[in-house]
Structure 1
Amino acid sequence: MRSLIFALLILFNSISFPQYGDFKGKVTDGILPIQFVNIFLLNTTLGTASQSDGTFRITGVPVGIYEVRFSSIGYETRVFDITISEGKTVEINVVLKTSVIEVDDVEVTGLRQQKQSDTRTSLIDLNPRDAKILPGAAEDVLRTLQSLPGVLAPNDFSSQLIVRGSGPDQNLIIMDDVEVFNPYRLYGVISMFNPDAVSDVNLISGGFPAKYGDRLSAVLDVTNREGSINKNLTGSLNASIVDANLVLEGKNPFDIKGSWLLNSRRTYYDLIIEPFVKSAGLVEESTTFPNFYDVQGKLVFGPFNGHKFLFNGVYSRDGVNVISGEDRNTADSVGVFNVTRNDIISGAWHYVPNKKFFNKFVVSWYRNSGDTDFDSQILDPSLNRSDFEDVLPDTLRPYLLGFKFNGDFSYTKISIDDKLTYFWKDHVFEAGAGYDFMETRQNFNFELDPQLEAIFLANPQVRASLSDLRDLKKYNRFRAFAQNNFKLSNKLYFNPSLRFDYYDLLDKSYLAPRISLSYAIDEITTIRAVWGMYYQSPGYEKLRDQNVLFDLGDRYAKNLNAERAYHYVFGIERWLDNEWSLRFESYYKDFQDLIVPQIVEGTRFFIEPVPGRNSRFIDGWTSPVPVKGDSVTQIPINNAFGEAYGFEFFIAKKNLSRSSKLSGWISYSLAFADRYEYNNKFPFRFDQRHTINIVLNYDVSNWFNFGIRWQYGSGFPISEAIGVKPRIIYVDNDFDGIPETPALATRRSNDPSAEPQVIYDVDYGDRNFNSRKPEYHRLDMRANFLTNFWGVDWIFYLDIINVYNRKNVIGYDYYIEDDLTLGKRPGNMFPILPTLGFSVKF
């Protein structure tokens, strides 16, 4: 009996109190450490991700034999058997080789895990595969980011990022350590980032560290992957009904260490849609539809005894040439020619003499340039254009206004950057410096017909915004930073940092301190907080995202200060298990010294109806009387401030094994964004109170999966018209060739004996953003069919944008009815839009 009791006690203790060991190691590509590698013990809930130095550690592993998997996008997945013994630590060093993701492999979907020692808040580490499969995103990286918390799209037609109450001009965008001014293609519809060629996509939507600067809002840091080192030639082709994307890659020839990768994309609206439109006579035969193509390449040599050399190149062109045809049924006649160019050449040297030191030296040349010629005869905006469809051109002539615009721009940047990382005990120290030589050229010319010119002369606000501009500037930027992430305790990490910027354009320098910390409540729960100061210099390359024109000549620029913002961010993240994570984050951004156009004293006109007279005719109104008013100039001044604050909730599900079918995320944002300008408070133009995103992907089988994406937004602010008012123009009464006398504008009807009638304009009042657009919502769906034939893997897909054909409003077209009341016609975004395509890897 005693023996039986003793045996039962031993059994009870062995069941109730299992013994544990630890598991640690390092992951590299043969020389450089690899961060964010997913490391999981299969058939358990235990796992982690490698740190910036490639190391990892899993504690408290019950004794036993396990299969452990190492996986990361862009690298081969490797599985090892390990044995955990009581009180022992198993150590393993793993080398992962770069690889194209095979269709029949288990593909990890969902956002990547952030380690607890990483003090960065608001970090979104996007898996490039999510951009490939997200419904309605057109396989585009920026459009995929628009489905994540804190990030908005201006409208369906734009891939720009609106981040936490800031405009797209306040986002720093980097590709392979090169700042990119214009990452958009096809005039903003898609971006330059090809998910088939990208390895890392990091968006920091607030509180970014000191190594980033000269922006007030957010940072998008994208790295293109290296080519395969396992084959001489491999690649993939992705094609749909509107574009095609080809990726070729392989190891270097002649047994030279390293690899190469070449990818190219092209739209073919001009090849498919253009012939049908020309045959219908809607455009002239010389018309070229909007199209773009680009070629991107990456060449890697090494590693050679701790040295690695990387070369990147981008060659991109957007173009359009449209001339309205004689058989059109619309009143307007438009001729548009535009070419936009984006080119990058860069070289990098990575030096890793030992496991504690890493240095990156980068030299780059970047140019964004373009030419535009616009010639139009547009219907008077006060008229209802539907009344003028199919009207003969000669009949239309009195109602048309001529407008011409031509211009060119060129933004060139030559940069030198050096950054080092040093691992010392519990410290990760980073420092660096960089220098930019900038040359910006901008020329814009406007030509108006006499009627339109008279309208603008009587409206100084519009007149100033359409003034000619010619400027060539050459200036420099210098930057330096230092930051140190170190462990204060086993649970608390602290990262103080400091950034210095000198802006030659302003002839001013700035210091920006920043502090971030993280606290590990337990192994699966982390609190993070950030405070920081941020500066942004003015520049023509930033103004294009604002769609405004400033004169940045020396007489004005030297009087400016850099725009400034303070970020306060607090968040908490918890992993519910290996696949489910939950995050709450709140933020406050305080904007100071924002640059706006200077307003000077100008002239407006007071006029009122004459009692008892018909207001359709001149004698129904008093003569225009000049009174003081505001006149907007192109002179930039620091005379505005603002704030943005809100709360974000985010729950995400990864797909980490074949038995796991579901992946995706759900997010909700409550946000407020206001601006204060000339003692007036108004909502920021992209202030959206409520935003919801639901993204779900489900693997039905090993050959079929589908996904849905539903978006909801409570509506952006809009400046709605409040009524109608008589049009006042300047006329030349003394025949000296100078229009200087205010008068009511009139128009004769087709009856020459009839009295001319007063022309009315839409009245928008003096208050900006006095209303809001209707709420926005849209459902997108995508189905993927996977197969293999001819010895290669294929994916055929059907993608449907706006499944229930919601008419989301982008804006309103106001016009004046015959009874002088205000008419309104909504302009809508994407209708239901199905797309078929395929992808093949060979």
Structure 2
Amino acid sequence: MAQTARIKGVILDEFNNPIEKVTVSVGDKGTETNKNGFYSLEVPAEKEITIVFSHVSFKSATIITTLKKNEDFEFYPVLNDRVNQIGPVTVTGTSKKRVEGVTSIDPVVIRTIPGANAGIENVLKTLPGVYSNNELSTSYAVRGGNYDENLVYVNEIEVYRPFLIRSGQQEGLSFTNTNMVENVDFSAGGFQAKYGDKLSSVLDITYRNPKQFAAGIEASLMGGSATVEAVSKNQKWSNITGIRYRDNSLLVNSKETETNFRPSFADVQTLVNFNASTKWSWSFLGNISQNKYNYEPLTRQTNFGTVSEPIALVVVYDGQEKDKYLTLFGAFKSVYQYNANNKLKFIASTYHTQEQEYYDILAQYRLGEVDSNIGSETFGNVVYSRGIGSQLSHARNDLDALIFNAETKGFHEINEKTQIEWGIKYTKEDIRDRIVEWEVIDSAGFSLPAPILDYQNDQPYNPYVGPLAPYQNRRATNYTTINRISGYAQWNYKGTFGEHKYWMNLGVRGHQWQVKNANSVDGDSQFVISPRGQFAIKPNWEKDMLFRISGGMYYQPPFYRELRDYDGVVQPNVKAQKSVHLVVSNDYSFKLWTRPFKLVSEAYYKKITDVNTYTIDNVRIRYRANNDAEAYAYGFDARLNGEFVPGTESWFSFGYLKTEENQNDRGYIARPTDQRLKFGLLFQDYMPNIPNFKVYLNLVYNTGLPGGSPSYADPYDYQLRLKDYRRADVGFSYVFKDHEIQSSKKWLKPFTDFSLGLEIFNLFNNQNAITNTWVRDVYTKSQYGVPNYLTTRVFNVKLIAHL
């Protein structure tokens, strides 16, 4: 094995400012400094080497030295003699991510783009193929899948969402702390075997490994965050810690329901790294998160219908809801690179969540016609009631889940053309769950029992003599344990065909699991195998184009929520949903106005069997847990990104999707995520005469989703759609100082960047609906879908400062 050492340090200019993108090279090996000027390079030991430091704007520096085996040598060169002018250089190349069809998102974009729930998910929703119609939620659907079909990794460690969340209002903070992020990669389908067993997408996030001390704060009317980075003197230890607090009152109090409502969310995350030697490194990622959701609705009036026949739902509430979500997460990761071509990784993580959902809410409602006569004294009020009634909802739901993972991965570079990757993982899920939910509905003073009880009820014409029963009643206690073993192996190869370059990836995943339930018979042991492949070719053309085809067989073994049926009872033998993917894409890099641009277009098709059908109520998914359907999804996505304004990245995206399902051979109907058209825009600009003043625009347009159906109704009878989702968030920021804009003011001297901004959420004050509330008309016996509207226009002030 090779004798190696490591050289590292920080490169400064003559004014002691760190220099980014300095090339540090030894022979044919090299690296670049990051934005803090830090570099680290593994070099040969026990022989004389020449180290060259070069940058397009500075004179090169060279040192000659000899290092001992495993020695960490620190060197801090100072580069000077600035060159007057060097034109911009763009290298499109064929990076690994481009070949794999992975979208990379700049963390700076994530932190600056405005949104009601700012963060990584906020930016994802502007990408083609990613759909969401709820700005309060971090949930998203990809190419016809649902919210439970997306993989999320942080530093190669899988992270999870809470189980009992019913509404976007309850979600609060995403797991990912954007102020700690270094790299974000996203794949919307056709991903490699090394990623896990989900049907739709992969979000792969890497946290920053600090190189020097830094600190930052963000504060707004909706909360704030603080981040601290530290490094030991010998560069072996580093730590980044972030604290966040969020209060959604500003957003939720803008909704049509008047409430006494102050939801609060807080978390602490830390990443500790230890470089034991040039070969071995360790890290720990920890998170503590607590969400409190105290909700006391007062009144609501929703106007809907048509201009000629306006209708309103007026509701007066009594009662409250108190929910809590406490999450503890810890993960250890060790990387052993025993030579330049071979690497092993060991990962162990534990996720523990305690969740409670308690509410007793009485809603007394009137459904009636609205006085539309402008000159009338009762203009805008309900003057004729079509239906009156009340609804009493009760829940005492508790869940305690403990998930443990242990994983080993290997990476081996056989030669310059061939690589092999493999991994094996053990997972144990232990869930204790109690569900007590019931709902009593009366209309015009007469109680409505559940239709499935098949009691004859034609009140008020004849007296009802059947037993009293709630309209909905779910009671279940589940003690469920799931043991899983999964693994993968894949082969990567790059070669040439004449003057054309090509890349291949072939892999296979296996997954075995068994569900055990203390209150029922254990499930059968099940096993699935998932072959996957990718092929990319870059023709030797004048135009910089790359073509890809990828796909395979994808399985999603059921997670706990997919095992629970409509009554909350675990069905231990639910099968894995199976999907055959085919993705064909083109990647075209070019220059426009002498600036770099890229157009990526993809066509895809999915054939899904053993479908576990579901309904969506806000963001809560209820599965039928019987694998009684088949489905398909196909569509086309396109994204054009580049420097529409010099020095800033913006993009336009478009998506077309159609997805339908066939339950028990009754015919195809739209799936709950059948969102046909999508347009997204993320745009950054600044004033040429005032470069300190910057503007950010986040715009999303989605055609309407299916509006669902009333409880116990046949979804084949309800194929109505919600109105189109239209939302624009804009941010204005004045930058006092950053890495491009410097300031001579003394009070700004300690800061690396400092900015103050104004954000306007829902700029055009569009009324967007998330779901329908179904209300019965006692006279016509029909049911009306009353839209539940989301947030209106909201203003926010934001401060960002970093040391």
Normalised-by-shorter TM-score class = 0.7 to 0.9
Matched, 1:404 2:394: yes
| CA distance in 1: counterparts of 2:535 and 2:656, whole angstroms | 24
Equivalent of residue 589 in structure 2, options 544, 567, 575: 575
Contact 2:117 2:135 in 1 (8 A): no
Contact 1:597 1:637 in 2 (8 A): no
Contact 1:357 1:421 in 2 (8 A): yes
CA deviations on 1:211-231 (whole Å, 9 max, x unpaired) are 12221111112222123x323
Q: Secondary structure at the match of 2:170?
A: coil
* Higher mean displacement: 144-153 or 488-497: 488-497
Residue 201 of structure 1 and its aligned partner are, at CA, apart by 1.5
Aligned partner of 1:427: which letter?
T
Residue 718 of structure 1 and its aligned partner are, at CA, apart by 2.0
Aligned partner of 2:432: which letter?
R
Q: Secondary structure at the match of 2:275?
A: strand
Q: Structure 1 residues 494, 129: closer, same or farther in 2, change over 3 A?
A: same
Note the 1:425-824 alignment, pairs <5 A: 425=415, 426-448=417-439, 455-460=448-453, 466-489=473-496, 491-505=501-515, 506-522=524-540, 524-541=544-561, 550-552=568-570, 556-558=571-573, 560-577=574-591, 579-596=596-613, 636-654=625-643, 660-679=646-665, 680-700=667-687, 701-719=690-708, 767-788=716-737, 790=747, 791=749, 792=751, 793-813=753-773, 815=775, 820=780
Q: Which residue of 2 is the match for residue 375 of structure 1?
A: 360
Q: Which residue of 2 is the match for residue 164 of structure 1?
A: 143
Q: Secondary structure at the match of 2:625?
A: strand
Residue 373 of structure 1 and its aligned partner are, at CA, apart by 1.0
The CA RMSD over aligned residues, in Å, is 4.3
Residue 678 of structure 1 and its aligned partner are, at CA, apart by 2.1
Q: Which residue of 1 is the match for residue 293 of structure 2?
A: 320
Q: Which residue of 1 is the match for residue 55 of structure 2?
A: 80
Aligned partner of 2:605: which letter?
Y
Q: Secondary structure at the match of 2:122?
A: helix
Q: Which residue of 1 is the match for residue 328 of structure 2?
A: 343
- The percentage of counterpart residues that share the same residue type is 19
Q: Which residue of 2 is the match for residue 618 of structure 1?
A: none
| CA distance in 1: counterparts of 2:567 and 2:547, whole angstroms | 43
Residue 399 of structure 1 and its aligned partner are, at CA, apart by 3.9
Matched, 1:128 2:107: yes
* Higher mean displacement: 374-383 or 511-520: 374-383
Q: Structure 1 residues 510, 816: closer, same or farther in 2, change over 3 A?
A: closer
| CA distance in 2: counterparts of 1:830 and 1:324, whole angstroms | 16
Matched, 1:202 2:185: yes
Residue 536 of structure 1 and its aligned partner are, at CA, apart by 1.1
Q: Secondary structure at the match of 2:55?
A: strand
Equivalent of residue 230 in structure 1, options 212, 218, 234: 212
Equivalent of residue 198 in structure 2, options 215, 220, 226: 215
Contact 2:450 2:471 in 1 (8 A): no
Matched, 1:262 2:241: yes
Aligned partner of 2:358: which letter?
D
Q: Secondary structure at the match of 2:538?
A: strand
Matched, 1:249 2:229: yes
Aligned partner of 1:356: which letter?
N
Q: Which residue of 2 is the match for residue 837 of structure 1?
A: 798
Structure 1 runs not aligned, ≥5 long: 1-27, 32-41, 58-68, 84-93, 98-110, 392-397, 599-632, 722-761
Residue 450 of structure 1 and its aligned partner are, at CA, apart by 8.9
Residue 159 of structure 1 and its aligned partner are, at CA, apart by 1.7
Q: Secondary structure at the match of 1:717?
A: coil
The number of residue pairs the alignment matches comes to 667
Aligned partner of 1:331: which letter?
V
Contact 2:113 2:731 in 1 (8 A): yes
Residue 579 of structure 1 and its aligned partner are, at CA, apart by 2.0
Residue 114 of structure 1 and its aligned partner are, at CA, apart by 8.2
Residue 439 of structure 1 and its aligned partner are, at CA, apart by 0.5
| CA distance in 2: counterparts of 1:512 and 1:251, whole angstroms | 42
CA deviations on 1:601-625 (whole Å, 9 max, x unpaired) are xxxxxxxxxxxxxxxxxxxxxxxxx
Q: Structure 1 residues 139, 474: closer, same or farther in 2, change over 3 A?
A: same
Q: Structure 1 residues 226, 457: closer, same or farther in 2, change over 3 A?
A: same
Structure whose residues are more often helix by fraction: 1
Q: Which residue of 2 is the match for residue 353 of structure 1?
A: 338
Contact 1:569 1:585 in 2 (8 A): yes
* Higher mean displacement: 177-186 or 310-319: 177-186
Q: Structure 1 residues 401, 437: closer, same or farther in 2, change over 3 A?
A: same
Residue 56 of structure 1 and its aligned partner are, at CA, apart by 9.2
| CA distance in 2: counterparts of 1:838 and 1:300, whole angstroms | 29
| CA distance in 1: counterparts of 2:719 and 2:298, whole angstroms | 39
Q: Secondary structure at the match of 1:196?
A: helix
Note the 1:123-202 alignment, pairs <5 A: 123-136=102-115, 138-182=117-161, 187-188=170-171, 190-202=173-185
* Higher mean displacement: 160-169 or 466-475: 466-475
| CA distance in 2: counterparts of 1:685 and 1:522, whole angstroms | 44
CA deviations on 1:315-343 (whole Å, 9 max, x unpaired) are 00001233457999952213111101221
Residue 514 of structure 1 and its aligned partner are, at CA, apart by 0.8
Residue 487 of structure 1 and its aligned partner are, at CA, apart by 1.7
Contact 2:435 2:568 in 1 (8 A): no
Residue 827 of structure 1 and its aligned partner are, at CA, apart by 3.4
| CA distance in 1: counterparts of 2:609 and 2:33, whole angstroms | 44
| CA distance in 1: counterparts of 2:139 and 2:75, whole angstroms | 35
Q: Which residue of 1 is the match for residue 520 of structure 2?
A: none
Q: Secondary structure at the match of 2:178?
A: coil
Structure 2 runs not aligned, ≥5 long: 1-5, 10-19, 40-52, 59-72, 77-89, 302-313, 372-377, 383-387, 455-468, 516-523, 616-621, 738-744
Q: Structure 1 residues 774, 81: closer, same or farther in 2, change over 3 A?
A: closer
State the TM-score, normalized to the length of structure 1: 0.71
Matched, 1:311 2:284: yes
Q: Which residue of 1 is the match for residue 458 of structure 2?
A: none
Q: Which residue of 2 is the match for residue 107 of structure 1?
A: none
Contact 1:121 1:569 in 2 (8 A): no
| CA distance in 2: counterparts of 1:55 and 1:690, whole angstroms | 49
Over alpha carbons, which structure has the higher Rg? 1
Q: Which residue of 2 is the match for residue 7 of structure 1?
A: none
